[in-house]
Amino acid sequence: MFRPGDAVMVRTVGPNVFSRTPRWAMGRIGLIKRTWGIWPNPDLVCRGVRDAPGRELHHVFFRVDRHGTVALTADIFEHWLSPAGVIPPSGQGLAQGLLVSGEQSSDLPHDEHLPHDRRSNHDVR
């Protein structure tokens, strides 16, 4: 459903609901950086459901300071995410800070693993 580079918002739930989605991430907009494949849905596993259906797990990046020098990442299951639309021009720094920089090269062996279309879009802007 989601692809690396997609902007997503993390769902929020009430304080009495247990989830492995961290509270600090709820309500925040982040960018999907990598996708880790399909894993059993922990929200069912924790309730004792055997053979819980798999959900896609995404590595999501959140910028937490104005200058983009501090970022948080968390692995969040797809059903906790909703599309956050196109990143507005004011979010350009966010996208650039997270996708087009040494960050990617530190995480992936080769640049060709970057989503090329997105990289060139940012280069154009």
The binding site for other proteins (CB under 8 A) comprises 20-25, 36, 39, 42, 57, 59, 68-77, 97, 101-103, 105-110, 113
Q: Which is nearer to other proteins, 86 or 112 (CB)?
A: 112
Determine the Cα–Cα distance for residues 20 and 24; give it in Å rounded to an integer: 11
Q: Which is nearer to other proteins, 7 or 60 (CB)?
A: 60
Nearest-approach distance from CB 78 to other proteins, in angstroms: 12
Determine the Cα–Cα distance for residues 87 and 98; give it in Å rounded to an integer: 12
DSSP 33: E
Q: Which residues of 63-82 are buried (b: 16+ CB within 10 A; e: fewer)?
A: beeeeeeebebbebbbebbe
Q: Which is nearer to other proteins, 112 or 117 (CB)?
A: 112
Nearest-approach distance from CB 57 to other proteins, in angstroms: 6
